[in-house]
Structure 1
Amino acid sequence: MHPLEKFRYCPSCGSTHFEACTEKSKKCQNCGFEYFLNPSSANVAFIVNKKGELLVERRKNEPAKGTLDLPGGFADLGETAEEGVKREVKEETGLTVTSCRYLFSQPNVYLYSGMQVQTLDLFFCCEVEDEQALTPMDDAAACMWLSPEDIHTEQFGLRSVRQGLYEYLQMLKKHS
């Protein structure tokens, strides 16, 4: 099912004449409002400790409950991607991000409440204030540090995170 099929009524006037216009939009035949389905922004953090290990979480909730993940989540309205990744890291790990640098992005489909949410996941390399403050919170059932050679991307539940990890690990190999 195409995600736009979930939207049956015009969000502007409530009309049932809310019909497909293009592959990524629906238009109301009553009031002319056109809705475009653009990706939601999500942020992902690569955090490395003094030993060169990467911070990894175990997912507490669906989708992909119980699989490995990286700290991150959806951007809130009115915040930058950098503010979003800092907030998500704090909410999930208790760590305070002191700097973050954008690396790359990956498109993703995130299943939430039975709906496929199209996202654009932005990956950042982050430094934290005190790695000893690490505490699993919010969406993280557990947090752990893994050395790059112990990371197996197939253990990560979200496709974009697997792909992002693959790219990140390739970057590490090129620079070592």
Structure 2
Amino acid sequence: MKILEKFKFCPVCGSSSFSPNSGKSLLCGSCGFEYFVNPSAANAAFIVNERDEVLVVLRKKEPARGTYDLPGGFADENETAEEGVKREVMEETGLLVGEAEYLFSCPNKYSYGGIDIPTLDQFYLCRVDDFSPLKASDDAAEILWVSTKDIRPELFGLHSIRNGLRQFLERYRSGL
């Protein structure tokens, strides 16, 4: 279900005359407030070790529980995208990212609680110096290293992660 279909009342005045105004907004007929749906910022980390293996996590929670994923998640308020990807990597793996290099982005729909939340997923190549603290935590049930030669995007549960992984592997195999 699209997020705009869930709103029935204006969040400013409480009026029920809160109706579609465009493909991405609702307009209140009583007070004139217009609510726009814009994508939430999300991030994903490509971490590659010296053996050309990508760090992969197994999702602990829905959506796509039990499927493969990359470390990452939503950016917090007052946080840069780079700070967000570093924080998410730390929370899910215990690893400290020294540098997060922006690679590309993909639009996505994140289905949660019966609502499709539009996101803009930003992908980063993250450099880690010390892998000794590596431990699955937070949203990660398990951590795996998968060879860039053997990784199968179709095993990843989220659409944009599959697309991002395909783009990354194409770039990585041609020298990034």
Using the size of structure 2 for normalisation, the TM-score is 0.97
> Quick one: distance in 1 between partners of 2:134 and 2:114?
32
Residue 56 of structure 1 aligns with which residue?
56
Aligned to 2:68: 68
Question: 1:12 Cα shift?
Answer: 1.1
Secondary structure in structure 2 of the residue aligned to 1:165: helix
1:27 aligns with 2:21: no
Cα deviation for residue 133 of structure 1 reads 1.0
d(CA) in 2 for partners of 1:162, 1:90: 22
Counting only pairs closer than 5 Å after superposition, residues 117-132 of structure 1 correspond to structure 2 as 117-132=117-132
Confirm whether residue 175 of structure 1 aligns to residue 175 of structure 2. Answer: yes
Structure 2 unaligned regions, length at least 5: none
3-state secondary structure, aligned to 1:45: strand
CA distance in 2 between partners of 1:2 and 1:143 (Å): 32
- What is the SS of the residue equivalent to 2:149? helix
Cα distance in 2 for partners of 1:137, 1:8 equals 38
- Match runs of 1:1-176 below 5 Å: 1-175=1-175
For the residues of structure 1 that align with 2:66 and 2:2, how far apart are their CA atoms? 28
- How far did 1:42 drift? 0.2
Q: 2:10 and 2:171 mapped to 1: Cα distance?
A: 45
Give the drift of 1:107.
Answer: 0.6
Identity among equivalent positions (%) equals: 56
Offset at residue 129 of structure 1 (A):
3.4
Bigger mean CA deviation after superposition, 69-78 or 49-58: 49-58
CA-to-partner distance for each residue in 1:100-154, whole Å, 9 max, x for gaps?
Answer: 0000000111111111111000000001131121100000000011110110001
What RMSD, in angstroms, separates the aligned Cα atoms of the two structures? 1.0
Runs of 4+ in 1 over 3 A off after TM superposition: none
* Corresponding residue SS for 1:149: coil
How far, CA to CA, are the matches of 1:102 and 1:172 in structure 2?
Answer: 14
Q: Secondary structure at the match of 1:163?
A: helix
Q: Which amino acid aligns with 2:168?
A: Y
Query: Once the 2 structures are TM-superposed, how far is the Cα of residue 90 of structure 1 from its aligned partner?
Result: 0.5
Question: Number of matched residues?
Answer: 176
1-side partners of 2:140 and 2:91: how far apart? 9
**Separation of aligned partners in 1, 2:65 and 2:2:** 24
Cα deviation, residue 172, structure 1: 1.4
Q: 1:150, 1:11 → 2: CA distance?
A: 49
TM-score (norm 1): 0.97
**Deviations, residues 27-50 of structure 1 (Å, cap 9, x unaligned):** 111111100000000000000112
Q: List runs of 5+ in structure 1 lacking aligned partners.
A: none
Matches of 1:86 and 1:71 in 2, distance apart? 10
